[in-house]
Amino acid sequence: MDVLERIAEQVRNHPVVIYMKGTPQFPQCGFSLRAAQALKDCGVPFAYVNVLQDPEIYENLPRFANWPTFPQIYVNGELIGGCDITLELHARGELKPMLEQAVAKAGGQD
């Protein structure tokens, strides 16, 4: 399977997914740490992909949605942004309802 097809499948199959450096438990950069923490603070399940363990995704994800940096957070199959946008949504109280709606729409998976 082509790497862009793999990314599309991951985004499609998970209501909330973060592409990050490291894992939510052991982030490997400050931006990934803060974005993953904002997601965890919402109490909504989410998937993650450690881009450092998959060089193909690391190299090609920026082409997928024309977003050059990591982390990248997808909700309902759409890129919502990176760390700064995620933190802004969280600070305004908009992130949690957005994530809850995505997970409910998907039937509670992930």
Residue 57 is part of which domain span?
A: 3-105
| Spatial separation of the C-alpha atoms in residues 108 and 70, rounded to whole Å | 26
Query: What Å distances lie between residue 30 and 1, 4, 66, CA to CA?
Result: 31, 26, 22
Positions at the binding site: 29
CATH of the domain at 83: 3.40.30.10
Where does 1-110 have alpha helices with state H?
A: 3-13, 30-41, 55-64, 83-91, 95-105
Strand bridging mode 78-81 / 47-50: unpaired
- What pLDDT sits at residue 39? 98
Q: Is residue 110 part of a domain?
A: no
Positions at the binding site for [2Fe-2S] cluster: 29
- Domain count across the chain: 1
Q: Is residue 41 part of a domain?
A: yes
- What pLDDT sits at residue 108? 65
pLDDT digits (tens, 9 = 90+) for 8-25: 999 999 999 999 999 999
pLDDT digits (tens, 9 = 90+) for 71-110: 999 999 999 999 999 999 999 999 999 999 999 998 866 6
For the chain, first and last CA: distance in Å?
Answer: 23
Q: Is residue 38 part of a domain?
A: yes
pLDDT digits (tens, 9 = 90+) for 22-76: 999 999 999 999 999 999 999 999 999 999 999 999 999 999 999 999 999 999 9
